[in-house]
Amino acid sequence: MELSIKLQPQGNVLNIILSGRLNYNTADKLDEAIAEHAEGMEEIRIDMSELVYTSSMGIRSLIAAKKIADKKNIKFNIVSPSEPIMEVFNMTGSNNVFDIVLPDKDENPSPVIYPLRPIQRLMLDTQFFKARSTMMNTGSLARLNYDIDLHIFAKAVNSIIADHDIFKCRFVIDKTTGDICQRFDGKTSTVVVEEMTSEEFEQIKGKLRKHYEIIDHQLWNFRLIRTPIEKYFLMDFFHAITDGTAMILVFARELSKRYSSFLKEATEKKSVIRIHRGSSYAAYIAEELKTTNELAEEGKRYWQATIEGFDAEKHLPPMDGDENIDCLDDEFEVPIDTIQKNFFRGKGYTEQTFFLGAALLTMAKVTRRSDVIMSWVHNGRNTKTEMELMGIMLEQFPIRWDFERGLTPEIFLDGLGEKIKNSMKYRKSLDYVYNTGILDNTACFILQKGAIGRRGKVKIGNSYAELINLDDDEVKGAENTIDIELNAHDDGTYSLVINYNAGCYTKSAMLNFAKVYSEMTAALQKEDTDLCGLLEL
């Protein structure tokens, strides 16, 4: 059995979870992991609850690590050693060397309940109005290359599920307050390979995505399916526990690495030491709660000023849809051929700022108003730890711009960049905005990069998975009147997806919106463009 080392930083505490066997062949990997990640920590906790064996070399390695920690004034604790490991400690006298924290003898400890983050509350409040819908389902169906070994693939998926607490998340009702909260101790199902005929797969294809029972139920659905001619992986989850960025940049990356590792182990028939640098979403929430927000009132005033006077009749395009049509949700995708990715080389602003600016300009043009209020989505990952976090990190910010005469693209984009910085500064006051319900009615912009978007390929080991759009099997019913999604593709091209309420808008009106958006991206690339003159305000 190989040694698995899982690192979970939690503030100034480094949790190291060991499973498998700690011996002569694996002890040096533990030493390397501790040396690499101990800097800046106040405490190291070695969790041995899943370790089944340690040799004398393993004990010597732990003693050496403790000496290094002592010199740096870092607490060094052994946590919850299994019975076989505790026997070794007692027999060797090592129990007198280490500070050992034994597990709580209470067999039924009270579950730890965490509050929802603001964006989670926003999503759950929205979902309750559409309880049987799939509007909060996020994910896709992937067609796997036929050379992928599905049983090893399943092993890799199940190991990720076991290592990330977000997959154990359950939304529950706090009996004391009546609020919806979350726990991270739920049981998880095992992903297995399902064999079926091509005809059977086609019959169930439209039923792969199902609505979630959101109170005290599993909030993800992974399925591995093999037909005589194809292999598929369904990756679907309830949006309020994680997001597309996490699933592509974290989950898919981990899946590729672990699949390669397990495949090598099976092919070469030798053990592989695995070091998992995952993060705990529960720990992240706990740290967020500890942070006092001195800017709370200042942030509330900032958001009040941002959304003051919002009126859908003024700040959204004129509505020309048919309220009596059966399907209220519609969308289309068009290429944006007025810009290429190489335009952004050496620029002092980001793609996010540029394309959000184009959306604001478009809204001003179609509403014929200088004062624009809409919202935009940020992926929320700002640090290395957060970039490795499996859990929802999105934030949805309202933004406002009043177009004045003499405005050039440079002045506009610089000013918009400052507004984005202020949004990030006051993000912990967003509860005020979410509680007003205004974001249900604003047009919303999001930039999706690479395979996070609606098409593309995801690397799995030395092979690939091709993402396929997954049709909803129930009416989705978008809450936002207009969702503006700009997809930045890996080949340097862009496309625009407009998701809109067909009860409010005709497709021709939305196609005109997309046409104007393309024109605005072209105008923003010219330094001497008079933006207000372009808007004819």
- The per-residue pLDDT for range 450-474, each reduced to its tens digit, is 655 556 778 888 888 888 876 654 4
**According to the per-residue pLDDT averaged within each range, which of 51-60, 110-119, 183-192 is highest?**
183-192
Residues 6+ apart with CB under 8 A from 518: 334, 336, 337, 338, 496
CA dist 500 to 440, 441, 503, Å? 12, 11, 9
Question: How far is the C-alpha of 311 from the C-alpha of 441, rounded, in Å?
Answer: 9
Mean per-residue pLDDT, 83-102: 83
Tell whether the model's pLDDT for residue 378 goes beyond 80: yes
Q: Is 99 helix (H, G, I), strand (E, B) or coil?
A: strand
pLDDT tens digit string along 415-455?
999 999 999 888 888 888 988 888 888 999 999 876 555 56
- Which candidate, 353, 332, 440, 363, places its Cα nearest to that of 396? 440
Give the per-residue pLDDT at 57: 82
How far is CA 389 from its chain centroid? 8
Mean per-residue pLDDT, 134-154: 89
Q: Which carries the bigger pLDDT value, residue 513 or residue 135?
A: 513
Question: pLDDT band at 210, cuts 50/70/90?
Answer: confident
Question: How far is the C-alpha of 51 from the C-alpha of 42, rounded, in Å?
Answer: 24
Q: Which carries the bigger pLDDT value, residue 262 or residue 306?
A: 306
Q: Is 157 helix (H, G, I), strand (E, B) or coil?
A: helix
Give the per-residue pLDDT at 40: 80
Give the per-residue pLDDT at 475: 47
Average pLDDT of every residue of the chain: 85
pLDDT tens digit string along 25-81?
777 788 888 888 888 888 888 888 888 888 888 888 888 888 888 888 888 888 888
Mean per-residue pLDDT, 180-209: 91
pLDDT tens digit string along 493-505?
999 999 888 888 9
Tell whether the model's pLDDT for residue 244 goes beyond 60: yes
Architecture of domain 4-101: 2-Layer Sandwich (3.30)
Question: How far is the C-alpha of 420 from the C-alpha of 429, rounded, in Å?
Answer: 15
Mean per-residue pLDDT, 153-160: 92
Question: pLDDT band at 238, cuts 50/70/90?
Answer: very high
Tell whether the model's pLDDT for residue 398 goes beyond 80: yes
Give the percent of the chain with pLDDT over 70. 89
Q: Are 492 and 343 in contact (CB under 8 A)?
A: no
What phi and psi values does residue 328 have, to the nearest 5 degrees? -90, -10
Mean per-residue pLDDT, 395-415: 91
Checking 351-354 for CB contacts under 8 A at 24+ apart, the result is: 351/447, 351/449, 351/488, 352/378, 352/420, 352/447, 353/413, 353/416, 353/417, 353/420, 354/413, 354/521, 354/524
**Residue 470: how many CA atoms within 13 Å on its side-chain side?**
28
Give the percent of the chain with pLDDT over 90. 36
Tell whether the model's pLDDT for residue 272 goes beyond 60: no
Q: In the chain, which residues fall in CATH 3.30.559.30?
A: 294-443+480-535
Give the per-residue pLDDT at 477: 47
Residue 70 burial (10 A CB sphere; 0-12, 13-18, 19+): exposed
Q: Which carries the bigger pLDDT value, residue 485 or residue 90?
A: 485
Q: Which carries the bigger pLDDT value, residue 311 or residue 83?
A: 311
Tell whether the model's pLDDT for residue 489 goes beyond 90: no
Q: Which carries the bigger pLDDT value, residue 275 or residue 302?
A: 302
Q: Which carries the bigger pLDDT value, residue 453 or residue 85?
A: 85
Tell whether the model's pLDDT for residue 233 goes beyond 80: yes
Fold designation for 294-443+480-535: Chloramphenicol Acetyltransferase (3.30.559)
Tell whether the model's pLDDT for residue 516 goes beyond 80: yes
Question: How far is the C-alpha of 364 from the C-alpha of 371, rounded, in Å?
Answer: 7
Instruction: Name 47's bridge partners.
Output: 17, 79
Q: In the chain, which residues fall in CATH 3.30.750.24?
A: 4-101
Tell whether the model's pLDDT for residue 478 goes beyond 70: no
Question: How far is the C-alpha of 212 from the C-alpha of 138, rounded, in Å?
Answer: 11
Q: Are 401 and 532 in contact (CB under 8 A)?
A: no
Question: How far is the C-alpha of 463 from the C-alpha of 465, rounded, in Å?
Answer: 7
Mean per-residue pLDDT, 8-33: 80
Q: In the chain, which residues fall in CATH 3.30.559.10?
A: 114-269+281-286
Question: pLDDT band at 109, cuts 50/70/90?
Answer: low
Mean per-residue pLDDT, 193-215: 89
Q: Which carries the bigger pLDDT value, residue 400 or residue 452?
A: 400
Q: Are 360 and 531 in contact (CB under 8 A)?
A: no
**114-269+281-286 is classed CATH 3.30.559.10:** yes
